[in-house]
Structure 1
Amino acid sequence: MAGLLMALSAGILWGSADFAGGRLSRRLPLLIVVTCSQGAGLVALTIVLLVRGHPAVGAVGWGVVAGLLSLGSVTCFYRALAVGTMSVVAPLVATSAAVPVLAGVVEGERPGTVAAAGIAVALTGIVLVSRQMAHEPPENHRLSVVLAVVAAVFAGAQLVALQRAGAVDALTGVAASRAMSVAVLVIVLMLSRASAPARDLPAAAMVGLLDTGANLAYTFASARSLLSLAGVLASVYPAVTVAFARFVLHERLRPSQWAGASLAFAGVLLIVSG
């Protein structure tokens, strides 16, 4: 139960980070927000590792893999949004939770009947709550679908890689993942020469701390509970982001999104109770 609650906490933290990062990206270059936020997370992880000591070398490899998968997912996702429409792309990427479910089943995990029903209900809710209205036709629909599917596979595989790292040492694994992604982002940032006012950087750093906390919570959780369950619970973050948009920004939700949020919540209850 503790592992499942940690996985759900990861989903809440990821959803909060996505909402805060999305708002910040409206006035700052996205590359600045991502690089600064991930850099802040890396600094925090490094400090904790130095205080704790004894990094686990065995977790570094899987951490690096997770970092590369994260970069691949983000790249494909944003490219898909650039050439397609969110109403198609977002629900496809939301199916990334199916990857850890399949990985867990292949490895012999057999969730109970109630938990299995919760997985199906939650996945359906996640897809529905991620849907947005299409305002204009996509420039290249087929390419956007392919990129969205690839992004979903990468994102789901990242969850599996983090679980592998967490089985050795969650802190070292997440730190290695963050170091890999930050190294690539810094190089890209230097080439792009993007800039932002220094007064906005602390807000970006806070987004990074939320995201890093989510990564740690999920990695700990997935190493202590069934991967198929932890992966789905952590993937409820779209519902969290949508909830913030509704109650903070007063955005109107469509009936399908309300239904999706309800299904995601019901799925969570079934998984935890099962």
Structure 2
Amino acid sequence: MLSLLALASSACWGTADFFAGLKSRTTPAAAVVAWSQGLALLVISVLVGARHADFALHGWPLWSVAAGVSGTVGLVSFYAALSTGTMGVVAPVASLGVAVPVLLGLLGGEQPPATAWVGMVVAVVGVLLASGPELSGDVSARPVALASVAAVGFGFALYCLDRGARESLLHTLWGMRLTSVTVFVVVALALRTLGGVGARDLPALLAIGLGDLVANALFAFASSRGLVSVASVLGSIYPVVTVLLARFLLHERLQRIQSVGVALSLVGVAVIAV
């Protein structure tokens, strides 16, 4: 069950990232992140308010702030990369941030079984193959560099989210959103701009924000009750969703080796689940 929840987080992240990438082509990436996070904060604040009796400041605040800062850096870099580069390149590169929580989990004493190790290796190789042919071609360095920054940001955000969720899942998600939105509010006040977002943009931004929020919740629940290393790998399969959506909706070219990569990722998931 925990493996399925972590895998479901990939589906939510991949779908949200695809539509966020499209939105970032007409709206500044920072504005897409800020507004989507802000709208999601309103939703989760209602949930926190409904459970105010359970509110306690222990364990989760520092982890949620760290997750919010690193996640914000990752999202802005990621959406900016998606708006200027091929989705089939950007998404797999960004997913390599999975190495951060895996390594930190191992250093923390986690010991995944042998079958899980096989599945994780196969899945990560699959994700790499999905972007290999594109990376060898004429690809601008800027989106790849931004995707690399996003990878590190995402990796630390996942680990911090996992640590905080072990104390309180709901409050860690809320604190993470509150931190990121606070950063963007300060920036917006300094620049005196709302990022060019109008009322007609709000439904799409809300959907993106909720998709990311649900993905974070599914991942945090799975990792905090299992192994963060395994959950992180399963959660990192989201580029497969983004690549497939780009293939069928945007008609981006998918070479044979990329198809093999997608298949390997799915095989790796199956092995981990077993």
TM-score class, shorter-chain normalisation, is 0.7 to 0.9
The secondary structure found in structure 2 opposite 1:253 is coil
Q: Does 1:70 align with 2:71?
A: yes
Q: Alpha-carbon deviation of 1:249?
A: 2.9
Matches within 5 A, 1:1-274: 2-53=1-52, 54-58=54-58, 59-75=60-76, 77=78, 91-131=92-132, 133=134, 136=138, 138=140, 149-190=148-189, 191=191, 193=193, 194-273=195-274
Paired with 2:217 and 2:87, the residues of 1 have a C-alpha distance of: 28
CA contact (8 A) 1:64 1:180 kept: yes
AA aligned opposite 1:249: L
Residue 136 of structure 1 and its aligned partner are, at CA, apart by 4.8
Task: State whether residues 76 and 148 of structure 1, in contact with CA within 8 Å, keep that contact through their aligned partners in structure 2.
Answer: yes
CA–CA distance in structure 2, aligned partners of residues 50 and 83 of structure 1: 39
Deviation at 1:130, TM superposition (A): 4.0
| TM-score normalised over the length of structure 2 | 0.87
In 1: Cα distance, 2:141 partner to 2:237 partner: 29
**Shift of residue 262, structure 1, vs aligned partner:** 0.8
Q: Structure 2: where are the runs of 5+ without partners?
A: none
| SS class of match (2:168) | helix
Instruction: Return closer, same or farther for 1:121/1:5 CA change in 2, 3 Å cut-off.
Output: same
Aligned partners of 1:210 and 1:82: how far apart in 2? 19
User: For 1:92-150, what per-residue CA distance to the aligned partner results, in whole angstroms no more than 9, with x for missing partners?
Assistant: 43211111111221122221111110000111112222457367564679xx65x6545
Please say which of residues 147-156 and 132-141 is displaced more in the overlay. Answer: 132-141
Is the 2:91–2:242 Cα contact (8 Å) retained in structure 1? no
Indicate the SS of the match to 2:134. coil
| TM norm structure 1 | 0.87
Instruction: Verify the 8 A CA contact 2:93 2:147 in the aligned structure 1.
Output: yes
2: distance between equivalents of 1:232 and 1:167?
19
- SS of the residue 1:231 aligns to: helix
C-alpha separation between the residues in 1 aligned to 2:132 and 2:164?
A: 32
Residues 25-49 of structure 1: CA distance to partner in whole angstroms, max 9, x if unpaired?
2222323221111111111110011
Separation in structure 2 between the aligned mates of residue 245 and residue 33 of structure 1, nearest angstrom: 19
Distance, in Å, in 2 between the alignment partners of 1:268 and 1:104 is 19
Partners of 1:169 and 1:159 lie apart in 2 by 15
- Give the superposition deviation at 1:210: 0.7
**CA shift at 1:201, angstroms?**
1.2
SS of residue paired to 2:166: helix
Task: Answer yes or no: is the 8 Å Cα contact 1:87–1:131 preserved in 2.
Answer: no
Identify unmatched segments of 5+ residues in structure 1.
none
Taking structure 1 as reference, are residues 37 and 81 closer, same or farther at Cα in structure 2, changes over 3 Å only?
closer
Tell me how far apart the structure 1 counterparts of residues 201 and 85 of structure 2 sit (CA, whole Å): 30
Contact between 1:32 and 1:189, CA under 8 Å: does it hold in 2? no
Please give the root-mean-square deviation of Cα atoms over the aligned residues, in Å: 2.7
The amino acid that maps onto 2:199 is A
